[in-house]
Amino acid sequence: MQKLLLFIDKVSTWVGQAFSWLIVALTLLVSWEVISRRFFDSPHAFTFDAMIMMYGTLFMMAGAYTLSKNGHVRGDVLYGFFSPRLQAGLDLALYLLFFIPGIIALVWAGYYFAADSWAIKEHSSVTADGPPLYHFKTVIPIAGAMILLQGMVEIVRCVVCLQQGAWPSRMEDVEEVDVAKLKEMVHVKDEDIAALASIGKGAAK
């Protein structure tokens, strides 16, 4: 079971990392458009729509990845003080009451939303000759299905935690910087940092 959970984690991670490259493409597109407008007086009408679609695709396709890393925003004011079993029970109730119905509705409505868009070969109406939208709208049910699959994994984790009293492991990815390890790697001591700080203060005076 744990291997299956980690495999789905890997799929969500791979998809999220693959679509994260849209950030680079979006940065290049915006930079190119700014240069084109400012220096060559040659704006492009499709750029606004393209930026929205690229960011929207990134935002939606990163949902399962973020869920697999337990990275979605939650109110940790009290939650962090709860025991693992209480956390799992609360998560399980919220998944069953709100998450599952909401995501199923997203996939269901998103499918028909995309199907209608394909049927009429929908284009953006922001400009006179706007780019097609049906490819972009197809992302909605696909992203919803990915999040639903990852949500089922999280529900299983909640059940395992309720049974065992501890959260099962999940796939690690990006970690926060460990300052102590960083100091050790670059051979920097606290007194060295203090000496540099005092030199900086002296220079400021």
pLDDT (tens digit, 0 to 9) for every residue of the chain, 205 residues total? 778 888 999 999 999 999 999 999 999 999 999 999 888 888 887 888 899 999 999 999 999 999 998 888 777 778 878 899 999 999 999 999 999 999 999 999 999 999 999 999 988 887 777 889 999 999 999 999 999 999 999 999 999 999 999 988 877 765 555 555 655 666 666 676 666 666 655 555 5
- Is residue 130 within 8 A of residue 53, CB to CB? The reply is no
Residues 67 and 86 in one domain: yes
Residues 121 and 196 in one domain: no
Residues 7 and 20 in one domain: yes
Residues 60 and 83 in one domain: yes
Residues 131 and 118 in one domain: yes
Domain membership of residue 134 as a residue range: 2-174
In terms of pTM, does the model score above 0.85? no
Residues 189 and 157 in one domain: no
* Integer Cα distance of 165 and 5 in angstroms: 18
| 150 Cα distance to chain centroid | 13
In the chain, count H helices and then E strands: 10, 0
Task: Please give the structure tokens belonging to residue 126.
Answer: 């922001």
Residue with tokens 């969500």: 12
